[in-house]
Structure formats: structure tokens, C-alpha cells
Amino acid sequence: MAEFLHIPVLKDQTISLLDVKENGIYVDGTLGRGGHSKEILKKSNIKLLVGIDQDEEALAAAKNNLAEFKNVTYIHDNFRNIDQILESQKIDKVDGILVDIGVSSYQIDNAERGFSFRYDAKLDMRMDRSGSFSAYDLIQTYSEEELTRVIRDYGEEKFARSIARHIVKTREEQPIETTKQLEDIILKSVPRYRGQDGKSNVQRTFQAIRIEVNRELEVLTEFIDKAVNHLKVGGRLAVISFHSLEDRIVKQKFKELSTGCICPPDFPICVCGHKASVKLITKHPVVADEEELKQNSRSAPAKLRVIEKI
């Protein structure tokens, strides 16, 4: 197994905006190697950090990286299950929650995980390898319409239908088992013009398949409401996203939760009774500065948004 290396993005900004409190309880829903959590643990004498990750290899790496800290509980699960996770730990409210959405550098760079077209490997893309549904299963079983929807909606790929059609046609002749096979199909499905080599189409398609395999957008939408319910008054939720679709969900959910009256503007008085449950700490997303971009180019698309329970 390759060494689990992952550079936490927007680390300083995230820890600062979480406003870590002495003797607080914090949840890192995407523990990874524990880079963000280590800063939380170093910054303040907190009571407990609950580290969650659906990738068992990430948990193993985090346990090694955070070995000096005894106030950490490690949970192998998806952060969407935060209700059950906190209940199992006899915890109701916490002081802060962090999630860093998307695939890690380790997962991308580990060829056997099948996330990247840069390596010829078995199609997989499962963040939780104990799960039964992989990219191979998706490619082999989804209809042309379903494939078109996934690639169009999650990859924002304009040649989604052509790619889906070629996938279905190819698999009728032989199984599509590897990243290289899928890359070749995508490249044959898109026109070349103005010097483009088709790699961006491959990247968008792989991204779309990964999102669908791991139900990433569905998980994120469901999680935000649950997370806010578990925050103490003054507790904060920080979400780092890398994809425009993810950031759109976070932005919209945060806006909904921070809005009071939602009556039509022509109503003379409020009849909805809706009240804001959070306030925006970041009115605009926080992004990497020039220094971080020099050190870690993968931080470029990262966007951090933070809210506080009121």
C-alpha cells in the first residue's frame, strides 16, 4: 500500500474561522490523514475530536499521524451518518464541524484505487472500499439515459450523450474494466478542434462517475442540515469544496439556513414564521492565497464557507 500523503488545503484559514474553543468537542467528517485535525488539536486543549472517514486507509494514516493525541475517537463511516455516529458516542451537541469534500490526493495518486485516468487500473473509484458498488458496476449496468444524466449533470460535459452511447456500444462487445479502456472510449466520443486533446472531457467524465459512485452531492445536501442540528449555539460548520456543483449546494444551503422570513416580498407581514438558524461567517468563499498555490497547485479550486449556529 502506498503511503497516504495529503496536504490539507486552506488549513490556517479553516482553523482560524472554526474559532476553536478550550475544552470543546469537534468533528472532522473527512479525517483523511488528519492534517486539519492536527491543527485543531495543537491549537487548543479540546475535550474530544471525533474523526470520521469512510476510507479505512485514511483512518490508518490518521491514527499514525495523530498518535501523540489521546483525545481522538476514530470512526469508519460516512459523515452523512453523523446522527448515528454522535449518538453512538453519547454526544448531542458539538462546538465545531469540518468537512473537506471530494477525493484526496492519495486516492487520486494511488493507481489501484482507479480514480485517475493517468494510471491504467481497474475501474473502482470507491471512497469506501467496503462498499459493493464501483465505477465498473456503473459503467456495466447504467442505461444510456442514466449515463448521459450522470456525465451531463455531474461532469457538466456537453458531449455526455455521445460518450454514453459509445460506452453502451463498446460494452455490448466486451466488458469495460479499466481506466484506460474508458479513457479511450471517451476520446473517441468527442470531436477535436482548436488544438484540444480531449483530456478535459476525460477528466469531467471521470469526475462525474466518481460523484455518482459515492453519491457525493446527495450526501453533502443531507449532511448540512444534520450538522447544524448538532451544533451548540456559537458552534461553527466549515465546508471546503472543490467542485462548482458542491460549492453551489453549500452556498444555497447556507443561504437558506441564514435567511429569516421567506414570505413573498409583496406580503405586508410575515406569515411563514421561518427563522434563521445560522449566521454567515464567510459572505464570500475563502480561497487559497498565492503562497499556498505555489506550494500546492491542487488547492486552486478549493472554496471554504463557514456558518455559526445562532
CATH architecture for the domain at 129-213? Orthogonal Bundle (1.10)
Q: Looking at residue 5, what is its pLDDT?
A: 57
Q: CATH classification of 11-106+216-309, choosing from 2.70.150.10, 3.30.565.10, 3.40.50.150, 3.40.50.720?
A: 3.40.50.150
Q: pLDDT per residue over 103-159, tens digit each?
A: 777 777 777 888 888 889 999 999 998 888 999 999 999 999 999 999 999 999 999
Q: Looking at residue 1, what is its pLDDT?
A: 45
Q: Looking at residue 103, what is its pLDDT?
A: 77
Mean pLDDT of the chain: 93
Flag whether pLDDT at 300 surpasses 90: yes
Flag whether pLDDT at 67 surpasses 90: yes
pTM of the predicted protein model: 0.89
The ranges assigned to domains in the chain are 11-106+216-309, 129-213
Q: Looking at residue 240, what is its pLDDT?
A: 97
Flag whether pLDDT at 90 surpasses 80: yes
Flag whether pLDDT at 258 surpasses 50: yes
Q: Looking at residue 122, what is its pLDDT?
A: 94
| 41 confidence band (pLDDT: 50, 70, 90) | very high
| 274 confidence band (pLDDT: 50, 70, 90) | confident
% of the chain exceeding 70 in pLDDT: 96
Q: Looking at residue 6, what is its pLDDT?
A: 64
Flag whether pLDDT at 73 surpasses 80: yes
CA distance 242 to 248: 11
Cell representation of residue 23: 475544552
Interacting residues of 166 by C-beta distance below 8 A, sequence separation 6+: 185, 186, 188, 189
Range 28-49 average pLDDT: 94
Interacting residues of 201 by C-beta distance below 8 A, sequence separation 6+: 157, 159, 163, 186, 187, 189, 190
Q: Looking at residue 27, what is its pLDDT?
A: 98
Q: pLDDT per residue over 278-298, tens digit each?
A: 999 999 999 999 999 999 988
Range 178-200 average pLDDT: 87
CA distance 2 to 110: 7
What residue type is 137 in one-letter code? D
How many CA atoms lie within 13 Å of 122's alpha carbon, on the beta-carbon side? 7
